Each structure stands twice: as structure tokens, then as C-alpha cells.
């Protein structure tokens, strides 16, 4: 193949990445966009394998086959609810790869490619950002899985330590950039960067991890760009920069959907998942109900809105909720789902979960569409949701003030399925539970829903 | 014009494209988009291939080999998992 | 990577940016936008300066000199007239 | 100044061009965007003057001062109604400059800068596109000014001739690209390209010239890009490509606002301005009115909508319409303006015209906003508009079928100010004039409006 064909193939690949990313951003074309981006990657890899004078085919082929195998198995077998973790892991791998590429290039040729300081600088930045992405992603993974406490980790002299670390990393980066890349310096830079990644993510609450993963995703793009500068390879620069920028925008969008700022996420606001403030029931009483009574209410309603939340995901009750929906629909009840943008622990969590159980996409209503419907709704069923239906958000000095909520309290009656009166992610009490028209069905979501289904069937 | 400065142009323009391309994405798509972008950032696979394949000594091969494994996992897994997520958003 | 191919990347990316940046423009702004873009295309002034200034023989200087005049008219006139148009769209 | 400062200044300039163009696209920020783009240009020019080893300062300074003077004078003195012509001229200059740069570089060094065919190719493309822009723009100018007949020019063997021209240009371009740039070949390429520009624009109707200018604008961007490739200068490549792409989008938007396709514009649909199909009045009669009666109607109306069109621009009656508006407002009449997107002969023509006479922006209503108002309007005053109020557009097989129109015929009464019953740009009769509730005020717009104002004042 003549060299300019190769060059043009790379250019084509860059353009395809752009189109793919663009298409990924809109519901109707997202799958096509993903396919476009994947083919862009395929073209780039194929061109690289064909063109460059590959000498050590053995290692290369082995490594690629191994990676592809691991990737496929992970992608196929993971639970839908574990998506954020998986993306986090993949992300860490990408960042790690970029750091290793920069590192290997430094080992190989001293100052590679272009002129001194620029190349040295991009190499050390590549190592730094890549390593931060790597270790940060694994802490995020641990927090999401629960290996590491979800609560913000605080320890004495935290600030002093962080400041020290910052200064040393800055020093090491500049030192490497200036052309000093003996193995020891490089290892120190690596080590410090890994530590930085850990310390940056540890203090952030577990439930904010999706935002953290998105930010780290942006970093891993920048790390790839830096590696591109090191190797003088424009496709790395382009794809990396695209992800870097898009990731930043996406992170911002995610924060906005949660009504928070990035600084607020990074430096902790209301604690992590672990923080369970005791329910301050005071002298208020709740009305309890059971599956039998609930089933009657549902079966004879004309319209029912189901509000799923984090508890649905925890209980893995998506199939049960689908079954109940089908039974009610068979009886002529109009059933829809109200999806709050930040219900669950990742954006789109509820959509993904319900889609897994084959709940038709059309039944899922956005917050803005469903809120005007509540006053006309007979029964609202809140399944493992808490903060997203907390009327305190309308009060000015609550922890979740200003967060838009689903107005379930305006429905004729409300059935709340959860295991206790304990609070949700924000750690605050929920006055909804004490309302006149609210009934509590204390149980695990999966059990409660299958009991409800059984009772409805028997009616 | 050095190659480096042209690289900088490419970088700045690509960033601008990235900013423009993502504007209003509905929350439903945040996770798949994140995951798709993440797969794209596995582009360092190209770098890893170049470093590993070029036979630049033991260290380069070892580090490069690990990088190839990691990046391939990111790329293959990333695109597959994104597709799996997106397949779920079907309309009745 | 030759300088030429990097130029091609820059070109393709800049085209993509151009396509993304202009999306929905109200008809009122079509003329000012056209005129502003037109002034930007007077960027060939830079090329004209380089050619004229580099003393590459009589022909280069003459052609370059004419190019400088034309391009400067385009740039200066273009931005001024665009501003003049836009100044008129004021709100009471 | 160290070289990398220069380089970074160029990069900054490129980014500013992008932001400027972006801001230019939205009403609130357009002026700021223009200023941004202008400063980007200033930076780029300043850097070039400072950095490069400029040898012949004399010529350079002289040429720049001369150009700046001409540009300033033209920009300050031109009539607002002549804007499209002026933009066309500027555009031709830009294209010409790009062609000359490519040409000069070919003269100077044979194959310049980078590798053979690529550089030669971009140089010959630069000459071709630049020259087409140059001559095409001047034909467009002539048509807009009326020097050249607005009607599509047709002559025998047109197609054969064009085909021949195309083939020879292709041949010459390839020949130059392959490295043959003796002056003769270059002059032939130039000459043929100039001819092509003329022949491409001549057959297009005069009133479509704004679209043509916009398309040529896109070309002049591409020519600048080509010149950038010749010189290996990224800022030329970037700014040129930006304009090339943005111009293409804009051309499309303009076509869409006129409800036509680009092919339709390029290969002529309904003729040019000159085509005046005789009004086929048949046995229908029109009701004539005069300034006195018109003034009574207006002064005692409670709401009046003024519909300006091309005739207002021809008569330069913008100040008169403003005066009438003020008088009516002083009497408590609610006066607004209905602005059709393609009224006049360039997009935004009416806005620019009325803005010149200081008509407040708020009084100008878009088509979609004003159409629902007509049934509640007492008097609609059509001033020199015709096609944009032609109800035939609602009929399926008329020449303007499907074009959205202003529904003036739904107002209680309609005063139409024009000089005769002759048709407008589309060359078709207008049934509005024969409606029961329409009154014709046959006069030049300027005279009619000042008479109306006089009569209103005397009431
Ligand atoms: N979506 C995102 O991207 C995202 C990211 C970060 C943070 N967040 C935050 O997460 C919160 C989401 O609100 P949410 O209403 O979905 O959840 P939530 O407020 O965290 O409440 C979840 C509730 O589910 C119940 N629950 C847990 N396990 C259960 C089970 N097995 N069966 C039944 N119920 C169970 C819990 O109560 P019991 O213990 O009494 O059962 C808990 O109160 C918001 O505060 C949001 O800001 C969201
Ligand atoms: N805006 C754009 O970007 C653009 C670009 C290209 C084409 N066009 C086309 O141009 C047309 C615009 O519609 P339009 O309604 O504004 O104009 P029009 O349909 O062309 O009609 C203009 C009318 O003004 C009258 N007129 C001319 N000089 C006058 C004077 N001194 N005093 C009073 N009246 C005078 C003429 O009638 P008399 O001779 O009887 O006076 C003529 O019928 C549309 O067909 C549109 O598609 C628009």
C-alpha cells in the first residue's frame, strides 16, 4: 500500500470518530454512532498493523488476542447494574495503557520524535495523567463495588499531605520534561501519580462515582493525546482530544442533572451512601399497608405511575416490576413509569434496568412530562426511591433544596415500597412517608413486588 | 513550522470539535455516551502497537505488551458494552 | 508523517468545526454572517504578506503586492461593514 | 520574540476565529463575534509582520495602507441597500488574492514547500478556485447593480461550450499539478478559470445573487485554504476551511428560507428580476384608493400591520415608513411590521433597511409570530411587497407553491402600495389585489407614504 493511502485512511478514521461521537449523543442514532466509532478504531488499528514495520509479531498478537478475550467476556457477562464499575475499569485500563506508552517511549529513545522540551513535556504529562486515571479509576471501582467504603475518607493532615504531593509531582514532571528520564526518576513520577489518583478519589462519596468516572474518562482521553504527541501520531492526538473535550462536557451535564457543581462533587457535599442519619420520626406516624391491600388498590385504579429508584436496582426487582405491570395492563389499568434523571446511582440507571426487563421504552416518562400527570393519577407506587420524591427539596434550607423532584405527593394515593424508614443517598428524612395519602409497604422491593403480583392475579 | 506545533493545531481543533459535538444529551444517554467515549480513548492501542512492534529493547516490549493488553480490553470491551447498553433502549 | 498530511488533518478538522459551529441562524443574520465569514476568508492576506515580503523576484513582488491590496480591502472593509450592519440591529 | 510565542499566537488566532464565527451566528452576540474574528485577524497579521523576515517593507506597507483605505471608504459610504453587492466585491477580492498568492508562489519557487504533487496540486486548485471566485463575484456584482441583465443568460451550444471548458480546465489543473508551471501554462489556467467563473454565474437569475455570493464566499474560503497548503501555513488552512464549511451551511440555510434547493438556484427555475409577465387581470377588477382615504382608514384603526417588500428598498422609503409609524403611534394606533424571511432581495434585507431608519427592533415580527395576528388586524399595509403576500402560494401548481406567505388577506382590510399591477420577482399574478377587502394605492412607495403621513397629520 502506498504511504498516502495509509495517511488518508488515518484521516478517514479521525473523521469517523467525530461522526460517531456526534451520533452517540442522540437517542435515535446512538447505536449507529457506536458502530461508526468502532469502525474508525478498526481502520486505525488495521492501518497501523499493515503499515508500520512491525517486528515482534508474536508478543503483539498474543497481547491483542488476550485483551480482546478479556474485554469480550467482561462486556458480555457483566450485570447491567454493574455498568458504572465496568466503565470505570475499562477507563483505568485505557489510562494505564497511555501512561505505559509514554513510559516505554521514554525508556526506548530518551527524548523521542520532535524537539526537546515539547516532547519531553508531553511524555511526562502522559505518564502523569495516565497514571492518575489508572489508580483513580480503580478506587472508583472499589467504591462502586463496595470494597472500599463509600463514605468520604478523611484523615489528619490531609491538606498538607496533598499539597506536598502536588509540589513533588510538579517537580518530577518538570524534571522529566527537561530531559532527565533515568528509570528511577520515571518510577518516582509514576508512583507519585498513582498516589495522587488514589488521594483525589478517596475523599469523594461513593454515590458520586459516576461523575468521577466520567471525569476520569476525560482524563484518559487527554492522556491518549499526550501519548500521541510523544509518538507524533495525529490520530492519537485527535481521538484523545475529542474524548477529553466531550468527557468534560458530559461531566458537566451529569452534574447539572444532579443540580450540583463539579467542585461540589470533588470536595464532598452531603456524605456518601454509607451515611445513614437516623430517621427522626418524632411524633408523626406512618400508615402501613400490606400486599393484599396494595393489590386491591392497584387492580381497581384506572391509572398507576410507578416510580423506581435505587432500591429497585439493589433488589434487582426489574423483572418483578415488569410482571406486575403486565398483570395490571391486562386488567385495563394504565401503567406508566416516572423516571427521575438521577434516580439510582448512575445517569440512565433506571432506563437501563427497566430495559433489561423488556419494559417498553414508551412507558418511561421524563420528569417534566410526568409531573403534570400526578394530580390525575390514582396510585403512585414508589419502589426503592427516596430522595427523588422527597418534598423537602421544595424547602429552601434542606440539603437537597432546589433539586427538581417527582411530585408523587400530588397523586390520590401513594404506596411506598422500601425496607424501613431509613433515608436515601442524601441522608435526610422524607416527609412524604408521613403524608395522609401515603402508605408504607415495608419489604425488600423484589419480594414486595412479587407478592403484589401474586395478589393481583388472585383477585 | 515544526511537527510539534502542527500537532498542537490538531489538538486544539479536535478539542473544539469535541466541545461542539456534545451539546444536549438526555440523561438516559449519559452512561452509554460515557462508555462509548471511553472506548474511543482506548486509541492509545495504536501507540501501544507501535511501541511494542518496533523492537526497541526488552523494556519497551514488556511495557508495550502490557499496554496492548490493557488498551485492547478497553477498546473491545468498551464498544461491546456500549452496544449492549444501547440495544436495550428499544421502542415498542 | 509529512507536513502535508498534518495540513490535511488540520483542514478536515477545521471543516468539521465550521460545519458544527453554524447550525440554526435566523434569516436576519444571514447577511451579516455571510459578510463576517467573507472578512475571515481575507486571511489570504497573511499569504500575500509572506509572498510579497520574501523578495522572491519581480513577479512575486508585483503579484504579491496586488494580492496584499485586494486582501486588505477584503479584511478591513469586510469587518467594518459587518459591524455597521450589526450595529443596526438594536433593541429599543 | 522566541519562535514558539509566534506559533502559540497563531494557534490563539485560529481558536478566536472559531469562537468569532460561532458568536456571529446568534443575534445577541453577533457584534462581539465580529470583533473577535477581527482581533484574530489582527493577531495573525501582526505575528506575520513581526516574525517573518520581511524584506520589501516599502511595497508591503504601501499596499496595506492603500487596501485599508479603500476598504474603509467602501464600508463607510455604501448604502445599506447595496450590501449584497459590496459583500460580493469584497469576496471577489479575497478570492483574487488567494489566486495571486498561489500564482506568485508558483512563479517564485517552482514547486514550493512540501512534496511534489501535493503542493503542485494545491497551488493549481488555489489558482482555479480563487479565479472562479474572482470573476464570478464580479458578475454577481454586475447583476445586483443592474450593469448586467438580471435575466438568466442563455446562448446556443451553452452545454457543449461548458463541457469543453470543464475538460480543458481539468487538463490544465492536472498539468500544473504535475509540476509544469511555466508562465504560459499558468496564464492559460488563470484565463480558463476566470472564464468558468463568468459562465457559471451568468445563467443565474439576478435575484438569486445573494445565494450565489454566499456560495462564492465558501469558495473563497477554500481558495485561502489551498493557498495555505501551498505556503505550509496552518492559519490559512484553518480560517479558509472554517469559511468554506460555514459558507456551505449558510448557503443551504438561505436556500431553505426561500424554499428552494441549491440545484434549483444554480440551474434556474423562475427567471430573473427582468422577467415581467403581463398581469392577466381578466374580467376581475381592483378597487383603487388614494392617500386621503388610506389615511382615514389608518388613523382610526386600532391595529395596523405594515408588510414591507422589495419595493420599499427600491423606493428608499424606509424613513417615510418610520415617520408614518410614529404619527400613527402618537394617535394610539398599534403598529407592527411583518417581516417575511425572503422579502426584498437579500436575507435580512427588510431588517437592515428598517434599522437604518431607526425603527425599533421590537416592532418587527417574524412570519410565524405575526400570521396568527392578521385576523385580528384592522388594516394591513403592503408596501412594495408582492410574492411574499401572494395567496397563490397556497395553491398546488403555482410557481411559488409551498412558499410560506404572510396571510395579509385575512386582515379586515388591506392597502397595497405599488406602482402598477405588474408582478414581482416570481413573475406571477397576485390574486390578493382583486380581493374584496383589498385597496390599491398606485404610486411610488416613497411618495405614497409621505402623502399618507401628510394626510394623517392633517386629520
Ligand atoms: N443517578 C445518578 O447519576 C446519581 C449519581 C450520584 C448520586 N445520585 C443520588 O442518588 C439519589 C437517588 O435517589 P433515589 O430516590 O433513586 O435513591 P435514594 O434516595 O438513595 O433512596 C433509595 C432507597 O431505596 C431503599 N432500598 C434500598 N435497598 C432496597 C431494597 N432491597 N428493597 C427496597 N428498598 C430498598 C432505601 O431505603 P431502605 O433502606 O429503607 O430500604 C433507600 O431509602 C439522589 O440523591 C441522587 O442525587 C444519583
Ligand atoms: N430576500 C432574499 O434573500 C431573496 C433573494 C432572492 C430572491 N428573493 C425573492 O424575491 C421576492 C421577494 O418578495 P417581495 O414581496 O419582497 O418582492 P417582489 O415579489 O419582488 O415584489 C416587489 C414589488 O414591489 C413593487 N415595487 C417596485 N418598485 C417600487 C417602488 N418604487 N414603489 C412601490 N413599489 C415598488 C413592484 O411592483 P410595481 O412594479 O407594480 O411597483 C413589485 O411587484 C420573493 O419572490 C423571493 O423569493 C428573495
Question: For the segment D43-57, what is each residue's pLDDT rounded down to a tens digit?
Answer: 999 988 887 667 677
Report the pLDDT value the prediction gives residue D333, as an integer from 0 to 100: 94
Distance CA A53, CA D419 (A): 79
DSSP string, A240-269: HHHHHHHHHHHHHHHHHHTT--HHHHHT-S
Helices (H), D3-115: 3-24, 30-51, 57-77, 83-109
Taking residues A395-400, report their average pLDDT.
74
Distances (CA, A) of D243 to A209, C69, D137, D224: 42, 21, 16, 9
Task: Choose among A207, A78, A199, A75: nearest CA to A144.
Answer: A207
Report the pLDDT value the prediction gives residue D372, as an integer from 0 to 100: 93
| D336 backbone dihedrals φ, ψ, rounded to 5° | -130, 165
Decide which of D300 and D274 is more confident.
Answer: D300
What is the share, in percent, of chain A residues with pLDDT greater than 70? 89
Q: Considering only CA atoms, give the Rg of chain C.
A: 17
- CB of A429 closer than 6 A to ligand 1? no
First to last CA, chain A: 73
Whole-number Å distance, alpha carbon D310 to ligand 2 midpoint, is 4
D151 is written with which cell numbers? 435575466
Judge whether residue D272 has pLDDT over 60.
no
Report the pLDDT value the prediction gives residue B72, as an integer from 0 to 100: 96
- B43–A24 CB contact, under 8 Å: no
Q: Which helix H or strand E contains D335, and what residues bound it?
A: strand D334-339
**A109 confidence band (pLDDT: 50, 70, 90):** low
Half-sphere exposure of D272 (CA within 13 A, CB side): 23
- CB of D264 closer than 6 A to ligand 2? no
Report the pLDDT value the prediction gives residue A116, as an integer from 0 to 100: 64
For residues D94 and C70, the answer to whether their CB atoms sit within 8 Å is yes
User: Which residue in B27, B53, B76 is closest to A348 by CB distance?
Assistant: B27
Which residues have a Cβ under 8 Å from the Cβ of A65 and sit 6 or more positions away?
A: none
Ligand number, closest to the Cα atom of B27: 1
First to last CA, chain C: 56
- D27–C49 CB contact, under 8 Å: no
Report the pLDDT value the prediction gives residue A250, as an integer from 0 to 100: 87
Task: Choose among A288, A321, A318, A300: nearest CA to A452.
Answer: A321
Strands (E), A322-407: 334-339, 364-366, 379-383
How is residue D113 annotated by DSSP? Answer: S
B19 is written with which cell numbers? 466541545
User: Which residue in D68, D115, D253 is closest to C25 by CB distance?
Assistant: D253
Judge whether residue C55 has pLDDT over 70.
no
Q: Which residues of chain D from 28 to 67 reach within 8 Å of chain C, CB to CB? A: 30-31, 33-35, 37-38, 40-41, 44-45, 48-49, 52-57, 59-60, 62-64, 66-67
Taking residues A279-286, report their average pLDDT.
62
**B53 confidence band (pLDDT: 50, 70, 90):** confident
Distance CA A445, CA A431 (A): 20
Half-sphere exposure of A347 (CA within 13 A, CB side): 27
Judge whether residue D276 has pLDDT over 50.
no
Distance CA B42, CA A236 (A): 9
Taking residues D136-149, report their average pLDDT.
85
Taking residues D60-71, report their average pLDDT.
93
Which residues have a Cβ under 8 Å from the Cβ of D399 and sit 6 or more positions away?
A: D269, D270, D426, D427, D428
Distances (CA, A) of A167 to A119, A198, A267, A444: 22, 16, 20, 50
- CB of D440 closer than 6 A to ligand 2? no
To test the contact with chain A by mutation, choose from C4, C7, C13 the residue with the greatest count of A C-beta atoms within 10 A, namely C13
Judge whether residue A22 has pLDDT over 80.
yes
Judge whether residue A239 has pLDDT over 90.
yes
Judge whether residue B25 has pLDDT over 80.
no
A30 is written with which cell numbers? 446512538
Judge whether residue A397 has pLDDT over 50.
yes
Q: Ligand 1 pocket: which of A342, A347, A350, A432 to mutate (most atoms <8 Å of CB)? A: A342
Strands (E), D185-288: none
Contact A18/C at CB under 8 A: yes
- Chains with 3+ CB–CB pairs under 8 A to B are A, C, D
| D19 backbone dihedrals φ, ψ, rounded to 5° | -65, -40
Catalytic entry in A7, A208, A280, A387: A387
Q: Ligand 2 pocket: which of D311, D313, D447 to mutate (most atoms <8 Å of CB)? A: D311
How is residue B74 annotated by DSSP? Answer: I
Taking residues D361-368, report their average pLDDT.
87
Ligand number, closest to the Cα atom of D143: 2
Distance CA B5, CA C47 (A): 19
For residues A444 and A383, the answer to whether their CB atoms sit within 8 Å is no
Judge whether residue A272 has pLDDT over 60.
no
Q: Which residues of chain C from 18 to 77 reach within 8 Å of chain D, CB to CB? A: 18-19, 21-57, 59-61, 63-77
Distance CA A291, CA A296 (A): 9
A334-339 sheet: strands from edge to edge: A364-366, A334-339, A303-308, A379-383, A413-418, A438-442
Report the pLDDT value the prediction gives residue A418, as an integer from 0 to 100: 94
Handedness of CA A96, A101, A104, A110 (dihedral sign): negative
Report the pLDDT value the prediction gives residue A273, as an integer from 0 to 100: 37
Distance CA A24, CA B29 (A): 8
B17-26, C40-49, D281-290: least confident range: D281-290
Taking residues D268-276, report their average pLDDT.
39
The length of chain C, given as a count of residues: 92
Chain D residues touching C83 at Cβ < 8 A? 31, 34-35
The length of chain B, given as a count of residues: 92
Closest chain B CA to residue A38 = B79
Distances (CA, A) of D66 to A227, B2, C69, D60: 48, 34, 6, 10
Report the pLDDT value the prediction gives residue A276, as an integer from 0 to 100: 37
Matching residue, cell 492536472:
D174
Contact D15/B at CB under 8 A: yes
**A115 confidence band (pLDDT: 50, 70, 90):** very low
> Which residue is closest in CA terms to ligand 1's atom 28?
A311
State which of A98-107, D105-114, D256-265, D325-334 shows the largest mean pLDDT: D325-334
Distance CA A272, CA A427 (A): 9
Taking residues D150-154, report their average pLDDT.
71
Contact C15/B at CB under 8 A: no
Q: Which helix H or strand E contains D457, and what residues bound it?
A: helix D445-458
State which of A271-280, D216-225, D271-280 shows the largest mean pLDDT: D216-225
Average pLDDT, chain A: 85
Report the pLDDT value the prediction gives residue B89, as an integer from 0 to 100: 66
What would you measure as the largest C-alpha separation in chain D, in angstroms? Answer: 82
Catalytic site includes residue D387: yes
Report the pLDDT value the prediction gives residue A451, as an integer from 0 to 100: 94
B92 is written with which cell numbers? 415498542
Decide which of A208 and D442 is more confident.
Answer: D442
Residues paired with residue D304 on neighbouring β-strands, in sequence order: D335, D379
Judge whether residue D270 has pLDDT over 80.
no
- CB of A345 closer than 6 A to ligand 1? yes
Distance CA D223, CA A459 (A): 78
Is the pTM of the predicted complex or chain greater than 0.90? no
Taking residues D278-283, report their average pLDDT.
49
Strands D364-366 and D379-383: unpaired
Per residue in A121-135, pLDDT tens? 888 899 999 999 999
Q: What angle do CA B26, A43, B56 make, to 5 degrees?
A: 115
- Chains with 3+ CB–CB pairs under 8 A to C are A, B, D
- A232–C1 CB contact, under 8 Å: yes
- CB of A445 closer than 6 A to ligand 1? yes
Judge whether residue D110 has pLDDT over 90.
no
A199-203, A316-320, D12-16, D143-147: least confident range: D143-147
For residues A156 and A166, the answer to whether their CB atoms sit within 8 Å is no
How is residue A70 annotated by DSSP? Answer: H
Decide which of A5 and D86 is more confident.
Answer: D86
Matching residue, cell 464532598:
A268
- ipTM (interface predicted TM): 0.75
Report the pLDDT value the prediction gives residue D274, as an integer from 0 to 100: 36
Report the pLDDT value the prediction gives residue D197, as an integer from 0 to 100: 92
Judge whether residue D266 has pLDDT over 70.
no
Distance CA D252, CA C34 (A): 12
| A63 backbone dihedrals φ, ψ, rounded to 5° | -65, -40
A428-442, B38-52, D87-101, D206-220: least confident range: D206-220
Distance CA A113, CA A331 (A): 71
Closest chain B CA to residue C1 = B3
Distance CA B7, CA C10 (A): 9
Matching residue, cell 382590510:
D413
Q: Which helix H or strand E contains D305, and what residues bound it?
A: strand D303-308
User: Which residue in D15, D234, D238 is closest to B1 by CB distance?
Assistant: D234
Ligand number, closest to the Cα atom of A441: 1
Amino acid at each position: 500500500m502506498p504511504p498516502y493511502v495509509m495517511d488518508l485512511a488515518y484521516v478517514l478514521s479521525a473523521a469517523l470518530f467525530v461522526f460517531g461521537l456526534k451520533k452517540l449523543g442522540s437517542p435515535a442514532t446512538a447505536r449507529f454512532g457506536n458502530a461508526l466509532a468502532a469502525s474508525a478504531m478498526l481502520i486505525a488499528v488495521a492501518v497501523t498493523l499493515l503499515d508500520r514495520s512491525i517486528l515482534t509479531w508474536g508478543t503483539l498478537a498474543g497481547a491483542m488476542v488476550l485483551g480482546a478475550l478479556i474485554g469480550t467476556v467482561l462486556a458480555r457477562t457483566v450485570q447491567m447494574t454493574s455498568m458504572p464499575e465496568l466503565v470505570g475499569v475499562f477507563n483505568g485500563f485505557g489510562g494505564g495503557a497511555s501512561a505505559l506508552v509514554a513510559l516505554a517511549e521514554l525508556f526506548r529513545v530518551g527524548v523521542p520524535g520532535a524537539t526537546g522540551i515539547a516532547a519531553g513535556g508531553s511524555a511526562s504529562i502522559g505518564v502523569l495523567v495516565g497514571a492518575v486515571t489508572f489508580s483513580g479509576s480503580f478506587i472508583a471501582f472499589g467504591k462502586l463495588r463496595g470494597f472500599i467504603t463509600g463514605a468520604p475518607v478523611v484523615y489528619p493532615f490531609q491538606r498538607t499531605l496533598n499539597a506536598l504531593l502536588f509540589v513533588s509531582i510538579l517537580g518530577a514532571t518538570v524534571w522529566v520534561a527537561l530531559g532527565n528520564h533515568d528509570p528511577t526518576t520515571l518510577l518516582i513520577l509514576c508512583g507519585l501519580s498513582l498516589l495522587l489518583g488514589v488521594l483525589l478519589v478517596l475523599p469523594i462519596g461513593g454515590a458520586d462515582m459516576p461523575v468521577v468516572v466520567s471525569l476520569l474518562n476525560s482524563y484518559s482521553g487527554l492522556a491518549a493525546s499526550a501519548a500521541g504527541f510523544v509518538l507524533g501520531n495525529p490520530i492519537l492526538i485527535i481521538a484523545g482530544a475529542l474524548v477529553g473535550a466531550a468527557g468534560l462536557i458530559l461531566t458537566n451535564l451529569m452534574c447539572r442533572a444532579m443540580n450540583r457543581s463539579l467542585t461540589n462533587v470533588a470536595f464532598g457535599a452531603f456524605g456518601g451512601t454509607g451515611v445513614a442519619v437516623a430517621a427522626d420520626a418524632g411524633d408523626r406516624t406512618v400508615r402501613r399497608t400490606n400486599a393484599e391491600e396494595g393489590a386491591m388498590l392497584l387492580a381497581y385504579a384506572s391509572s398507576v405511575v410507578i416510580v423506581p429508584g435505587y432500591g429497585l436496582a439493589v433488589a434487582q426487582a426489574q423483572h418483578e416490576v415488569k410482571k406486575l405491570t403486565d398483570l395490571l395492563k391486562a386488567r385495563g389499568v394504565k401503567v406508566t413509569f416516572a423516571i427521575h434523571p438521577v434516580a439510582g446511582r448512575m445517569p440512565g440507571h433506571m432506563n437501563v434496568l427497566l430495559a433489561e426487563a423488556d419494559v417498553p421504552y414508551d412507558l418511561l416518562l421524563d420528569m417534566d412530562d410526568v409531573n403534570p400527570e400526578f394530580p390525575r393519577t390514582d396510585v403512585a407506587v414508589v419502589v426503592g426511591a427516596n430522595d427523588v420524591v422527597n418534598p423537602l427539596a421544595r424547602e429552601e434550607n434542606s440539603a437537597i433544596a432546589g433539586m427538581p423532584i417527582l411530585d408523587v405527593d400530588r397523586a390520590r394515593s401513594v404506596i411506598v415500597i422500601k425496607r424501613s424508614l431509613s433515608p436515601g443517598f442524601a441522608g435526610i428524612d422524607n416527609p412524604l412517608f408521613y403524608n395522609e395519602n401515603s402508605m408504607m409497604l415495608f419489604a425488600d422491593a423484589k419480594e414486595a413486588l412479587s407478592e403484589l403480583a401474586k395478589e393481583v392475579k388472585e383477585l | 513550522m515544526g511537527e510539534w506545533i502542527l500537532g498542537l493545531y490538531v489538538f486544539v481543533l479536535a478539542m473544539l470539535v469535541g466541545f461542539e459535538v456534545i451539546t444536549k444529551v438526555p440523561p438516559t444517554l449519559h452512561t452509554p455516551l460515557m462508555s462509548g467515549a471511553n472506548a474511543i480513548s482506548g486509541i492509545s492501542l495504536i501507540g501501544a502497537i507501535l511501541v511494542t512492534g518496533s523492537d526497541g529493547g526488552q523494556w519497551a516490549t514488556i511495557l508495550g505488551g502490557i499496554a496492548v493488553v490493557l488498551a485492547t480490553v478497553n477498546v473491545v470491551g468498551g464498544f461491546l458494552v456500549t452496544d449492549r447498553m444501547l440495544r436495550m433502549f428499544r421502542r415498542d
